[in-house]
Structure 1
Amino acid sequence: MRLSKAFYIVILLQLIAVTGLQAQMQRQRVAVASTVDDAFWTPTLITQPTTEHIPARNLNVTIMHSFGIATTDAISNFFGFDNVQNVRLGLDMGLTNRWSVGIGRSSQLNVVDIRTKYALFQQDSLKKMPVSISLQGDLGIITQENRQPLSDDVSIASSLIFSRKFSKRFSLQILPTYAHFNRYNAIGSQNLFALGMGMAIHLSKRYALTAEYYPVLGEHLPGTKNAFSLGMNIQTGGHVFQLFFTSTEWHLQQFVIADNDQQFWAGDFRFGFNVNRIFGL
């Protein structure tokens, strides 16, 4: 009888020890940090790049459209829809979960652009890294015939993107941006700086309000206004549709900064849309 009681006591102590160990392991698993995703849903907010990245071995196909000024001869031009101002077709591929490369072509000036984006840091759930930081570079080449050397048709843009998803509903980003034109029209070489700002308010799993602003720091080019855009994202399966009103006809950062002569709040806005579709390779 004594051996039997001792045996049961040993078994009971072992069960208690195993249960305690499992509970400790569960607590350790809960404490593992994970990256915070879906701050903006797409690699491009409206015209600004975001800290969202395309997963490795995935391809993002984008179609970007902008139309004429909605308030100019609104009835005869059907609120600008009769005037397709600019179309950009683009492909971006995730080489890793942090690094992507892309190429696109805009109908305006027939600009071909090559870009890349890399995630330096990613916001995590334990707040050890409170923000996401990405670096994006873009090389643009005007391919429209203009009887000037190819070197004069080159422009670049570089942004350091800081973003934070403050809650399930609200995300904010700022992106110091540098743009350079080897030759801008008849003005010659130009260096421009801007401090982009963007935000997203997630209304539900399918809808989100977006806005972005591109104040140029320092000297503007003649006639240039700070670009502003206001939009709505609609997520449907593998597609994200972006509908927006914007002051700029461009979808490339350096041209948004250098070539926006419209003032959104004065009523000089146009309708546009982006379509994003992810394909697994």
Structure 2
Amino acid sequence: MKAQLKIFLAPVILLLFSIQSMAQMERERANVVEPVETFWTPTLISQATTEHLPAGNLNVTIMHNFGIATTNPIQNFFGLDNIQNVRLGLDFGLTNRWSAGIGRSSLFNVVDFRTKYALLRQNTDGSKPISISLKGDLGIVTQENRQPFKDDISTLTSAIISKKFNEQISFQLSPMYGYFTSVDTGDNNHLFSLGMGTQINLSERFGFIAEYYPIIGEKNLNTNNAFSLGLNIQTGGHVFQLFFTSTRWHLEQYVLAQNRELFWAGDFRFGFNVNRIFGL
């Protein structure tokens, strides 16, 4: 009788143990803490975001904008006949928190080297409610201009603070400092701004984006605070960004220094960015 009871109870005990183990595994999976995807791309329109490339991934970017859409719109086809600036760039994820990149802009033939590091990343359990990243950029004018090499250098340093409030809305603040070794008379070597940016997800594929560069302190002569708004379109490995902007620059220090147009006065231009991520 005892032997029969043992034979009967053995599979029952084994079944109960399996159920308990599976439930425990499900609880462990449910409690996995991961970084929050605050933005879809490492760059919003021209401002860097707190989004980082995974280690070993390469992001190829094409950034393109045109002439003022409202200047002789019929003759210039809303500015599309006037190519203003194109930047080709490569960024590589050295680690999950640290990336480095290089790019070249057609305007002044500026070559830029940049790096970004994540100090803090917002996570899914709420124990880290915000993300903080540091970014540095070095720009070098390579166009022949008969001036010493040291006068062709500019730099940008920024701290990017972002938060994803819910599944739809993300927002960031970016205190930034731009420096130019050589400037025209009346302009400033040192420029400060509190950049602002947002992404509002309309669906899994579409998202509204906007950014603003209010200058803190003295501005350069004949410059205005830059503003841009656009649309993210996600198609698997690509993210296309279509936007209207007041600036012809894709580098933040030049946006601070040389934005001549005023968006709300109708001085805006069309542009687009293409982001393609490769897992290497």
Q: Aligning the two structures, in what range does the TM-score lie when normalised by the shorter sequence?
A: over 0.9
Deviation at 1:174, TM superposition (A): 1.0
Deviation at 1:123, TM superposition (A): 1.1
Paired residue for 1:215?
A: 214
Deviation at 1:29, TM superposition (A): 3.3
Return the alpha-carbon distance in structure 1 between the equivalents of residues 62 and 274 of structure 2: 5
Residues 9-18 or 183-192, more deviating: 9-18
Q: TM-score, normalised by structure 1?
A: 0.93
Task: Give matches, 1:35-114, under 5 Å.
Answer: 35-37=35-37, 39-114=38-113
Q: Are the counterparts in 2 of residues 263 and 269 from structure 1 also a CA contact under 8 Å?
A: yes
Q: Are the counterparts in 1 of residues 188 and 220 from structure 2 also a CA contact under 8 Å?
A: no
Determine what percentage of the aligned residue pairs are the same residue.
Answer: 61
Q: Secondary structure at the match of 1:109?
A: helix
Return the alpha-carbon distance in structure 2 between the equivalents of residues 154 and 198 of structure 1: 27
Paired residue for 1:232?
A: 231
Q: Are the counterparts in 2 of residues 230 and 246 from structure 1 also a CA contact under 8 Å?
A: yes
- Aligned partner letter, 1:146: N
Q: Secondary structure at the match of 2:150?
A: helix
Paired residue for 2:117?
A: 118
Q: Secondary structure at the match of 1:250?
A: coil
Return the alpha-carbon distance in structure 2 between the equivalents of residues 61 and 241 of structure 1: 12
Q: Are the counterparts in 2 of residues 121 and 129 from structure 1 also a CA contact under 8 Å?
A: yes
Return the alpha-carbon distance in structure 2 between the equivalents of residues 234 and 3 of structure 1: 68
Paired residue for 2:172?
A: 173
Return the alpha-carbon distance in structure 2 between the equivalents of residues 57 and 219 of structure 1: 41
Paired residue for 1:156?
A: 155
Paired residue for 1:26?
A: 26
Return the alpha-carbon distance in structure 2 between the equivalents of residues 167 and 8 of structure 1: 52
Q: TM-score, normalised by structure 2?
A: 0.93
CA distances 1:189-232 after superposition (whole Å, capped 9, x unpaired): 61111011111111112111100001011111111111000101
Return the alpha-carbon distance in structure 2 between the equivalents of residues 277 and 22 of structure 1: 39
Q: Are the counterparts in 1 of residues 39 and 199 from structure 2 also a CA contact under 8 Å?
A: yes
CA distances 1:140-174 after superposition (whole Å, capped 9, x unpaired): 01111111111111110011111112222111111
Return the alpha-carbon distance in structure 2 between the equivalents of residues 91 and 254 of structure 1: 19
Q: Which ranges of structure 1 fall in alignment gaps of 5 or more residues?
A: none
- Aligned partner letter, 1:232: L
Q: Are the counterparts in 1 of residues 98 and 115 from structure 2 also a CA contact under 8 Å?
A: yes
Paired residue for 1:251?
A: 250
Q: Are the counterparts in 2 of residues 182 and 188 from structure 1 also a CA contact under 8 Å?
A: no
How many residues are aligned here? 280
Residues 1:279 and 1:186: Cα distance change in structure 2 (over 3 Å): same
Return the alpha-carbon distance in structure 2 between the equivalents of residues 7 and 59 of structure 1: 59
CA distances 1:228-268 after superposition (whole Å, capped 9, x unpaired): 00101111121111110000000000000111111101111
- Aligned partner letter, 1:222: L
Q: Secondary structure at the match of 1:26?
A: helix
Return the alpha-carbon distance in structure 1 between the equivalents of residues 26 and 142 of structure 2: 59
